[in-house]
Chain A
């Protein structure tokens, strides 16, 4: 059997890799070296290190960090409790189901919920707090993002917890560990891989999603994703947009190297 014949029908796949995986990355790199008039320049990179962009990167990071942290805070106990329910597959399915509904529709719902006359403000009225501007604030952005990312944080943690050997918990208790100590010294370290993939699944999109920022935060919060969208589709400054994209790719690669590397360390 020769390999020659086989390679024919592999062409579409290799073509796909060349055209849609490798070429786009190279094109982004290439475009980041040109200014608005099409002249070769490193100015975009210089521009990136001006306070405007640095501040944007920092806020973007800060929000992504907040979103990841809150998702983790909510998701870990939830995943833990889910592993202890009867019919856990059914409950898991119910956690997953909302993720199949278009992100935009869920975001759109919050425009109504957080609106001036929405139920949240009604509740505030009942408690005598009075109407608050909730929409178009940093808070609403973080809340909606956490809402959207929760299932993706729960899933990996849930499967990590499922793999946990329950006799280890009994052993810890027999040896006199309190509930908190068992969690801190046994359960959490053993499920750190799930936590890590959960954080990865949340952090990167949180840096780059632009529709939530646009719809919920108005123009209050500008993330790296919003900046890229702005440069490509509004101001048509593809060079600067590509430069921001290059940094986003670099951050992503760095993040994945960090998490990938330490995962090996845990499995040893």
Chain B
């Protein structure tokens, strides 16, 4: 393969610089004692103290984590059943229909999901707040988890379940002792994708959250609308570090399967855009 010359390396370096500059810019000014995002005056950890001492913010962080963990766990459970449903539907047409229905929420823009869920919860009489946010996070995490689990089911040789049945395993045994262990990596990545979806979501939550309840992204949005405040910078530095930890964790979890960065690249590519 031909090597890149200097000019093309410059292009890539520039691209990476632009991609990372805003992130490091945010982090750099989180230490600015001047209180603004320009003119670095002196080093301070004041904004970190502010973030840690802000009980309201801490409650919101806990809310966000609770919602993320709970919704991904529920979504993964539903997604396991969904993947089984799609896999074991015999009719080809029905299978394709199920798959398309599954993917509707992945391709639809967040505003539409948010708006339609808002209508749904209002009609169903569900009070906007914890329950509505949890339900909608479960709802939009299910399809991506299904897509993560399904390939593992498809790769599984049908002879395995046949053999288990021939040997007298009950259907429950087949599920818990054969199928689930085999698709475990898929379940893990499904859970992980659901987690990142939930942590990353802003627009849907923004629509279905009530007055008293807030998650981190909604809080960041309302603070950012009021202008620059360096506690957001401090917060984002912490979130960035947390994200890196999460990515590294995921990398090591999936490394046993495939030893390359593709393990991370693929779900991210599949997950698509912040709609």
Contacts and interface: CB of A to CB of B under 8 A. Distances in A.
Contacts of B232: 105, 108
Interface string B60-83: 000000000000000001110110
Interface string B28-50: 01000000111100000000000
A205 B247 CA distance: 24
Nearest to A12: B78
Interface string B1-38: 11110001101100110111111011001000000111
B5 to A, nearest CB: 10
Interface stretch (B51-59, B152-160, B179-187, B199-207): B199-207
Contacts of B227: 111
A31 B20 CA distance: 43
A228 B115 contact: yes
B178 interface: no
Interface string A153-177: 0011001000000100000000000
A210 B203 CA distance: 8
B119 A27 contact: yes
A233 B37 CA distance: 30
Contacts of B221: 104, 211, 215
27 contacts: A9-B81, A10-B81, A12-B77, A13-B85, A16-B142, A19-B139, A84-B2, A89-B260, A89-B261, A89-B265, A94-B16, A100-B246, A100-B247, A100-B268, A103-B202, A104-B202, A105-B220, A108-B224, A109-B23, A113-B25, A118-B37, A152-B273, A155-B268, A207-B109, A209-B203, A232-B207, A245-B115
Given A108-B232, A215-B224, 15 more contacts: A1-B165, A10-B82, A93-B264, A93-B265, A94-B19, A97-B247, A99-B274, A100-B247, A102-B217, A103-B202, A103-B274, A104-B220, A105-B26, A159-B269, A211-B221
